[in-house]
Chains A and B, each alone.
Chain A
Amino acid sequence: MFLSFLTDLFQQDFMLRALAAGFMLGILAPLLGSIVVVRRLSFIADTLGHFSLVGISVSLFLSSIGFSYFFEKPLYLGIIFSVIGGLLIEFFRRSYKNYKEISMVIVISLGAALSAIFFALASKTGSLYEYLFGSILTVTNYYIYLIFITLVIVSILFILYGKKIVAVSFDEMNAKFLGINVGLFQLVFIIMLSIVVSVLLEAAGVLLISSMMVIPVAAGMRIGWSYKSTVIISVIFSELSVLVGLWFAYSFTIPSGAAIVSVNIIILLIVALTKRIINTRRIKNLSKNQ
């Protein structure tokens, strides 16, 4: 069964595209996810995804009143709205310094409400499903280029500013004494994250994008012994879940995003359980020796 999947994977164009998109998503999501988790902003991708959806729904609305360009490329407005959502989060985070999570609730609610309104105005509520859950099996060549460019830009930013990104994420207050402009950093980071989330949206979907960013990192955290090892392990788990998820999606005709996330959860459970068993045995051995 897996062999026939592998044969099809390299023989059918749509499977190759799915694999390419999945491979890049498998790097991007946990790479940014690790920063998001350290900064305790695990829900941010979900929030940005909802706001990106506003851009897509506005695109569909505009195309319904005659601007057909927006129907072909709804992602552009999705990116713009995702950035607006990111800036709104940052604005509310600064307004409610001690209740930063409030910013997420405000932006996610606004995003959900506006999306529902514009999808209804565009009479396209039927297409809401594909944006909520995404489909990596139907991505186009154009999308592959877009995700590739995003991966290159994010990689360059991490190579150039990786140290600073990690320093601010672990200790925002201390970053000031390292000569880092924390306010500017936060702004740049949220814009970068907004763009990445809206690009990943097509493959992962609004409801699953957050899990693709956070769950591999949650599993990696359990066994990582350093920051670097945790990120590498998270990327490996992420890639594994993309490959196995695609196999499940293809074999059982189930939504690809849902299959990938389910595999992610299974990996997390296996890691957590194995770690628990090892720890229990270690404690038993220690008490025996004493």
Chain B
Amino acid sequence: MQIYINNLTFAYGIKTVIKNLSLTLNQGDYLVIKGKNGSGKSTLVKCLLGINEVKPASIFYDENDITTFKNWTKFGYVSQSFDGFNYEFPITVSELLSVSSSKNVSAQDRLKLLDQMKIFNIQNQNINSLSGGQLQRVFIVRAMLNKPEVLILDEPTASIDKQNKTFFYETIEELNKQGITIILITHSDGIEHLNYTHELNMYGDSTNEFSTRKLSTEGGDE
């Protein structure tokens, strides 16, 4: 899927958060969105996910205007600190993934993803008994279940330790190698070693800078 942002401007009331943002991403690209807290990263994600209403002709998915776009199953989303999810009521990992699967996802597909994420052993555990790292992997599996073309991750490493962070970035790169477009939002530094293809810096004064990275064959920086 091609993602085309065309001169996007977004404001909360009179406060402009994003101004004249344009960029194009092709299938298999890996975009990292950087910026401090309050710089508009999450606002942009909400625009991309259709939660914030944008003006027509601002965002296109494969030439479909987002204002009329319906095919959201092509997206997988892992939110910042799992907000919005009710994880106090008992539900097991297996139950959650089962209700989150479309008809063409078999139990075997689910088990394979759990294995890939190294959380096969917690499938019968209650969601509210999991650690931050385990919970995050469960949500990545959920986002990956229906084979999305684009995976959007909003500051997913905020509540996990260093070891889990490393595993997380490796997993994301693996998914990207499989052809999935990745959009990763982060305010943490020290991610230069990652093999992302595009970078968007948001400066907090509604300005931004989009750039393409040239990656070496070994996967290092330019």
Interface string of B74-92 (1 = CB under 8 A from A): 0111010000111001111
Interface size on A, residues (CB 8 A): 27
The smallest C-beta distance from B218 to any residue of chain A, in angstroms, reads 35
Question: Could you tell me if A226 and B102 are in contact, using CB atoms closer than 8 angstroms?
Answer: no
Chain A residues, Cβ within 8 Å of B188: none
Q: Which of A217-258 contact B (CB under 8 A)?
A: 221, 224-230
Q: Which of B24-43 contact A (CB under 8 A)?
A: none
Question: Could you tell me if A226 and B92 are in contact, using CB atoms closer than 8 angstroms?
Answer: yes
Asked if A101 is an interface residue, CB under 8 A from chain B, the answer is no
Chain B residues, Cβ within 8 Å of A177: 72-73, 75-77, 143, 146, 148
Chain B residues, Cβ within 8 Å of A34: 89
Question: Could you tell me if A229 and B146 are in contact, using CB atoms closer than 8 angstroms?
Answer: no
The smallest C-beta distance from A258 to any residue of chain B, in angstroms, reads 28
Stretch at the interface among A11-19, A119-127, A135-143, A162-170: A162-170
Chain A residues, Cβ within 8 Å of B98: 163
Question: Could you tell me if B126 and A226 are in contact, using CB atoms closer than 8 angstroms?
Answer: yes
Find B89's partner among A38, A163, A178, A228 (CB 8 Å cutoff): A38
Q: Which residue of B lies closest to A169 (CB)?
A: B86
Taken together as a complex, chains A and B put the C-alpha atoms of A179 and B75 apart, in Å, by 10
Question: Could you tell me if A167 and B99 are in contact, using CB atoms closer than 8 angstroms?
Answer: yes
Chain A residues, Cβ within 8 Å of B148: 177
Q: Which residue of A lies closest to B87 (CB)?
A: A170
Q: Which residue of A lies closest to B88 (CB)?
A: A221
Asked if A37 is an interface residue, CB under 8 A from chain B, the answer is yes
Taken together as a complex, chains A and B put the C-alpha atoms of A167 and B85 apart, in Å, by 10
Q: Which residue of A lies closest to B77 (CB)?
A: A177
The smallest C-beta distance from B208 to any residue of chain A, in angstroms, reads 25
The smallest C-beta distance from B11 to any residue of chain A, in angstroms, reads 18
Find A227's partner among B72, B75, B89 (CB 8 Å cutoff): B89
Interface string of B40-75 (1 = CB under 8 A from A): 000000000111000000000000000000001101
Question: Could you tell me if A221 and B90 are in contact, using CB atoms closer than 8 angstroms?
Answer: yes
Q: What total count of A-B pairs have CB within 8 Å?
A: 75
The smallest C-beta distance from A270 to any residue of chain B, in angstroms, reads 19
The smallest C-beta distance from A29 to any residue of chain B, in angstroms, reads 17
The smallest C-beta distance from B60 to any residue of chain A, in angstroms, reads 18
Question: Could you tell me if A174 and B146 are in contact, using CB atoms closer than 8 angstroms?
Answer: no
Taken together as a complex, chains A and B put the C-alpha atoms of A228 and B95 apart, in Å, by 8
Taken together as a complex, chains A and B put the C-alpha atoms of A164 and B73 apart, in Å, by 14
What 4 A-B pairs have minimum CB-CB distances, sorted nearest first? A227-B91, A224-B90, A167-B99, A226-B92
In the assembled complex, 25 residue pairs joining A and B whose CB atoms fall closer than 8 Å, in A order, are A39-B86, A163-B98, A166-B91, A166-B99, A170-B85, A170-B89, A170-B91, A170-B96, A171-B86, A172-B84, A174-B77, A176-B72, A177-B73, A177-B76, A178-B73, A178-B100, A179-B102, A225-B90, A225-B126, A226-B92, A226-B95, A227-B91, A229-B90, A230-B89, A230-B90
Q: Assuming A166-B99, A226-B126, what are 15 further A-B pairs, CB within 8 angstroms?
A: A37-B89, A38-B89, A163-B99, A166-B91, A167-B100, A173-B84, A177-B73, A177-B143, A178-B100, A179-B146, A221-B89, A226-B91, A226-B92, A227-B90, A228-B95
